[in-house]
Each structure stands twice: as structure tokens, then as C-alpha cells.
Chains A and B, each alone.
Chain A
Amino acid sequence: MVLVVLRRIGLFAATVVVASIVTFLMLSILPGNAARIALGVQATEADVAAQTKAMGLDRPAVVRYLDWFGHVLVGDFGTSTVSRRAIGPEITDALGITVILVLTSVVLALLFAVPFGILSAVRQRKPDGAILSGISQIGVAVPGFLAGMLLVTVFAVTLRWLPAGGWVDPGDDLGGFLQHLILPAIALGSVQGAVLSRYVRSSVLEVTREDFIRTARAKGLGVGRALFRHGLRNAAVPVMTVLGLQIASLLVGAVVIERVFSLPGLGSLLLDKVALRDLPAVQGIVLVLVVFVLLLNFLVDLAFTVIDPRLRSAS
């Protein structure tokens, strides 16, 4: 068991190092000179050369990499070449927003998917079950950014009930925070909710055909009680797997949703920094994202063993 955990940690560390090297290499072949962007169209060649030196971009790539990654290991992401502020706090500020957005949308997706999926499984052969199934199919087909734009058009522009975008910190104004969170979270969560509800449906359908449900029903339990007592826990395992995979794609989806709603999250920060060729910041953000996804996978694995005792010995 200890060996397994150690191996996992070792693998985790190795993945992070490889990811850091890949990130660094990819960014160093990116065309465009950060020094020239900083100085603009009036700068002379001499100015650009001096700025390149001041930014440390004239050093060999290996030196720059070791310098950067060495500092990252002790928690120092360096200083942004553009904002000239510490990158660490910039990333944590933005990450906080993205995490709140992603988690809220996961909760919304589950709140929608579980009852909806179970209902459409139980009512499988009835007309309303088919309608429910059709609704989730449409949900899968509508991309998040389109859902976002539709929500803005209806609830912000036409009805003026909610803001069209922007962000308010919960510490500053909790009401404003919730108002600004609701539309982007729905936009991001809707597709995931629809996808999940289909998995819940098929998973529940599968479980109802299992022997233990038949036994439970034979003992005199109704469909609902049999499912509730014995079925759902079993049905949850494949749903959790999908959810774990989806959180990674939610992070990507958040990049788009953050643009639609002008949220200063990690996705917006990443795109801004790429445009400005603020390479130390881009490297830091990508690395944080990689670590975040790896960590999520790790947690999902852990969650399996809690839900399904059979998997405990297997890991």
C-alpha cells in the first residue's frame, strides 16, 4: 500500500517535471519578442536589445529554464515581465475565481443530472421519459459559449435581471457575487449536466437489470426503494469516472466562458499573458493547470475507493 502511494507520488513529480520542460520548450519557440511588445512601435533596435537584456531573455534557454523551475520549486513563480508584480498572487487570485466557477457548475450539473437521469431511466418506456431524454440530448448539443450568449441575451440584455458579466469578490459583496456567478455557472454547467444525466440514466438502467435489484424487488421493495437502497451507490461509480474526466474539460470550458462573461479567471489571465508574451507568467499558469488536473485525477481515484469498497483492495 505504502509502495503504491510512493509510486503514485513519484509518477506525479515526474509528470510535473516533464510538463514544465514541455511548457518551457513550447513557449520558447513561440514567435514574437516580448521586449518589442513592451516597447511598441516607436522603439529603436538598440532599445529592444537593451530591453531584451533587462528581461533576461538574452541568456541561454537551459539557464533560463533552470532559473525558472528552481524558483518554482520553492514556491516563487517570479515576476511578470508586463505587470512587474509577483506572478504567484496573480495566479492564485485568478485560480480562485476559476475554481469557484468550475465547482459551482459541477454542483449545478449534479443537481440537474442526478434527478433528471434517474427520472428518465425510471420512466424509460413512457412518453415523458422520452421527452426528458430528448431534452438532455439537446443540452449535450448546445456548446457552453452559445448557452452563455443566450443566457446573457435573455437575462441580462432583455430582462435586465442579472449582470452581463464581470466579477465581484464574495468578501466585498455576497449578493453581487452570487448575481455575477449564476449565469456563467449555468452556462458552463449546462452541457456537463446534460452529459452527466445521460450517464446517470444508462448507469441506472444497467443497475436495474442487476441480480441484486431483482432480489430486492422479490423481497417486496418498490422500484424506487430498491433503487434508492441498493442501486444508486452502484450506479455512482461510472458517473464519478465521467465526472472526474469532465472536471478537466470544465477547466478548458471555463477559458471560453470567462471570455464570454469577462471574468478575470485563470483562462482569461492565460490568454492575456500569451498575447503579451509574458512568458514567466504563462509558464506558471500552465504548470498550475497541469498540477491541478493531476491532483483532480488523484482525488477521483481516491473517491472511488470510498464509494465502492470493492476497489479498495484493487488499488
Chain B
Amino acid sequence: MLASLGLVGCSVGTASTGTEPDTSLTVGLLATPGNLDYTTTAGAAIPQALLYNVYEGLVKLDNDGTIMPLLAKSWTVSGDGLVYDFQLNEGVTFSDGSPFTAASVKFSLERVKDNWSANGPAYLDPIAQIEVVSDSQVRITLSKPSNSWLFNMSGPVGTMFTESGIADLATDAVGTGPYTVSSFKTGDSLVLATNADYWGEAPYMSDVTLRYFTDATAQTNALLSGDISLISGISQFQLVDQFKSNADFQVLEGASTGEVTLSMNNAGAAFSDVRVRQAVMYAIDRQAVLDTANSGYGLLIGSMVPPTDLWYDASLADLYPYDPDKAIELLDQAGVSDLSVAFKIPNLPYAVAGAQVVKDQLDKVGITANVTVLEFPAVWLDEVFANHDYDMSLIMHSEPRDATSFAVPSYYAGYDSPEVIAKFAQADAADAATHVELMREATRTMTEEAAANWLYLQPAISLADADLLGVPKNTPSLALDLSTIAR
């Protein structure tokens, strides 16, 4: 944060030498929001554009994944971890002029249970009671201690709304953030203008246009031709190298929370035996998949935990070295021969490229993978995710801290381990140190039992004009935080 403020000061300094500072920014993004309402519409596109920019919560995640104060100035937690006392910033108003007070907190959080259908309303289940102590103080009592609760409050479910601003959430976003939506055209662009009455420090960029592309090449061409200044999260990595050798641009490589996962239907006939799943772990050369599908960009993680989480265990990447003979041996032990599996993948570039390598490598250990490419999201969600009609799939899990939901038996992976479920529950209620320890144990068990083959962590690569400063490097949350960007 300090560094980025320094950078802002620096560029204002250059501006004073004569030229007007250019405070407009055009960003190229891939997934377009369908509307502006993330309370009832799933997907990362709406929070990416609006969270922290138009909407704010009590807390936010900074670019390193640390929970920071936002609308809450500070907070204290009782010794038993049940009572949170938030001290709110004063003089905050929503963009429609209504004031933000403790009553807004109560209103917004109580709305979630009955009115939200997307973006994880269940994240707020631990809340037992919300008390308005004064206009600037709110006390939230939990029914049981929860380590994930405050973290989740930094995401969409923690958003603060005003009663006068929720009539038409799909088209009209009223928040307390530094920007307001000045125009929005699905599939084309979303234009943000600075909120003149913003309570905090005004962002450097006064006009930000988010332009939506359907094609990654069109997106990089727009950057090369100067139509846009920033691409956040490039999806096709073979397009990156041309920017590395070009002094007009900078390439920022950060960490995301997207684990690219070769999932196996643990509850299905083909993969119910742990030895068969482990055979798949040994059969796949993950580096080869990474090289083919991602031009080598990314990190081998071997578990469902990115390095930005404290319980990340780097040794899990080596738990199953590439060893086809071992895979054949395990299949023999399990009494499986001529295994043929339905490998249903989404029609996304990384999945199509990765599946081909996986198929070839499985062939070498005697597993025949019949690849079917399904339209994403519509058909994949239906067949694989909802109806569990598959043996194997390949998909990126992009939500932060999603290992716990992966371990729910009714989830599409069908992984049912009472031990892991119990550990996740204990971890959530434990003190900070034990929390990390139990999370590490549980996620390790998931890899040991080969709940899935976590191939690699998708990198967060941003491409930007060379003169752009403070570009967020990592994507620890769903939001694209524009407040630190300057020129």
C-alpha cells in the first residue's frame, strides 16, 4: 500500500513538469458480466468489475491476500472467537447520498440469507446475531468460532448495500466505493467514473473503461495497437512471450487461486478404488501438461492449496513423481485391466490442450480416456457438475480457499472422507496456529487419497503499458482492485 502511494506521488511529480496527467485507463478483460447483480448471478465477472471499485465491505483483501480494514476502521475479537466488535469509518455515504452506518451493516448482512442465491450466501451461516451498538459501532456474534468467516467477509457476501439502492441491482449498482458505474453494455464495456463523494482517498485513475473481449488474440492485439493499456489475467499463455521482448510493455507474473484440476468421480465405478486414482497420479507427467497447455507458465502444486495460503505444502508437488511403471503396478494390484473412462472436458483452451496430453499419458499405462468436449458453462455444468455423469474431467477451480467445498461428499468429485471433513470443521473453529496445522493435514490427506490430480496452479499474468504503475500482480480475491493503479 505504501509503495503504491509512493508511486502515485512520483508520477504526479512528473506530470507537474508540463503535461496533464493522463488519468483515464482502458482495461481489457475476457469474461463479460451478464448484469450488475452478483447477489443472484454467479461467476467471477461481476465481482471482478465491481467489488472494491463500486462496492465495499467491512474488510478487504490486499494483493498479498491479507485481510485489511475497509469500511471498518478497526475491530476486536473476543477471547472465545465469538464476538466481533467493528468500529466503522464515519462520514461514509453511498453513491445515492444515503449514509453508511451500523444499520447498513445489519441490513446488508441480514439480507444475504434470504435474498442471495449466488456467490456463497452460506459463507455467512456462522453469524448468530448482529447488533447496532451505535451509528459507528456494530457487534457481530457468531454461533461458533470460524476462521473462514472474516476472510469470506472480504468477498462478495460482505458487500454493504443501502436500503434505497437495491431496487434494481441488475442495472443500478449503489455502493460506497471509489467508483460508480457510468455505463454498461453487456459483452462490450463497463465504464467507471470516480465517485466525487468518496470517503477515502480518491484513486489516481478518474475514468476507467473495462472492455470485454471474446478472443484472447483480439485482446492482445488491442494492447499492441494501444486501444487498451492493461490486460488483467491473460488466458492464453502462448501470447505472452511477444510482450517480454517489447520495451513498450511490462509482464507481471503473480499467483492466482485457480487450481487446474484433473478431477475423478470418486463415487463412480471407475475411480472408487484409491489405487486406481493413485495410478492416475503416477501416470501423469504434470510438467508436460503444463508445458503443452500453458506454454510452461504456472506452478506445480500437487494439492488444492495455492502458495498464498498459510497451509501451503510445497512438498506435495513431489508426492507422486511421474512413474508409469508404478501406475501399471497399482492398476494390477487393484485388479483393473483395460480401463476405459469417460473423460468429459469443458471447451476451454487450457482444458482441450491439457486433455490431449493426459489422454496420451493414460494410454501408456493402459487406461483409455474417451474425450468428449462439452460446451462450457451450460452443458458441462449440467452433465458433469450437477448430474455427476462422468469419470474424469479437467477444470480450473478458481474460488479462493475451495478445498473445503471440494471435500463435501455431494460435490461433483464425490470424494467422501469423514476424517478430512472433521478436520476442516475443527480447523475452522480452532485458534490461528491450530487452524493452519489442521488445514495442512486435511489438504495433505486429500492428495494422499488422490481425491483429484491437481495438475498445476494457473498463473495470474497481467500485461500492461510500460508506464503503468501499481498494477495488481496477484489475484487473491475475485476483485480487480483499480485503486492502486497510476501512470
Contacts and interface: CB of A to CB of B under 8 A. Distances in A.
A167 B185 CA distance: 11
Contacts of A165: 213, 218, 221-222, 227
Contact of A157 (B35, B221, B386, B405): B221
A110 interface: no
Interface in B32-63: 32, 34-35, 37, 40-43
Interface in B172-188: 185-188
A84 B171 contact: yes
Given A31-B379, A40-B42, A43-B118, A164 B186 contact: no
B378 interface: yes
A261 interface: yes
Given A83-B170, A85-B170, A166-B211, A36 B381 contact: yes
B127 interface: no
B41 A82 contact: yes
Interface string B208-251: 00011111011001101111000000000000000000000000
B119 interface: yes
A273 to B, nearest CB: 9
B22 interface: no
Contact of B211 (A39, A153, A262): A262
Interface in B347-387: 375, 377-379, 381-383, 385-386
A90 to B, nearest CB: 8
B35 A268 contact: no
Given A47-B117, A85-B170, A167 B188 contact: yes
Nearest to B378: A32
Contact of B222 (A32, A51, A90, A262): A262
A40 B386 CA distance: 10
B120 interface: yes
Given A31-B379, A37-B378, A272-B187, A42 B119 contact: yes
B216 to A, nearest CB: 11
A259 to B, nearest CB: 6
A275 interface: yes
A277 interface: yes
Interface in A256-272: 259-262, 264, 268-269, 271-272
Contacts of B212: 262
Nearest to A281: B186
Contact of B405 (A42, A93, A162, A272): A42
Contacts of B375: 31-32, 275
A166 B382 contact: no
B42 A42 contact: yes
Contact of A261 (B32, B42, B218): B218
Nearest to B34: A82
Contacts of B188: 166-167, 262, 264
Contact of B42 (A39, A164, A269, A272): A39
Nearest to B40: A38
Interface residues of B, number: 43
A260 B215 contact: yes
Contacts of A48: 386
Interface size class of A (residues with CB under 8 A): 35 or more
B222 A37 contact: no
B42 A43 contact: yes
Given A47-B117, A82-B35, A262-B213, A41 B42 contact: yes
Contact of B32 (A32, A41, A157, A272): A272
Given A157-B224, A165-B221, A264-B185, A51 B35 contact: no
A156 interface: yes
Contacts of A261: 218
Contact of A262 (B120, B215, B224): B215
A41 B40 contact: no
A106 to B, nearest CB: 24
Contacts of A93: 185
A31 B382 contact: yes
A259 B377 CA distance: 19
Contacts of B381: 32-33, 36-37, 41
Interface string A22-54: 000000001111001111111100011011000
A245 B405 CA distance: 54
A78 interface: no
B170 A38 contact: no
A261 B410 CA distance: 43
Contacts of A286: none
Contacts of A43: 42, 117-118
Interface of A: 30-33, 36-43, 47-48, 50-51, 82-85, 90, 93, 149, 152-153, 156-157, 160, 162-167, 259-262, 264, 268-269, 271-272, 275-278
12 contacts: A32-B375, A32-B379, A39-B117, A41-B385, A42-B405, A82-B34, A83-B186, A157-B225, A164-B221, A262-B214, A262-B218, A276-B378
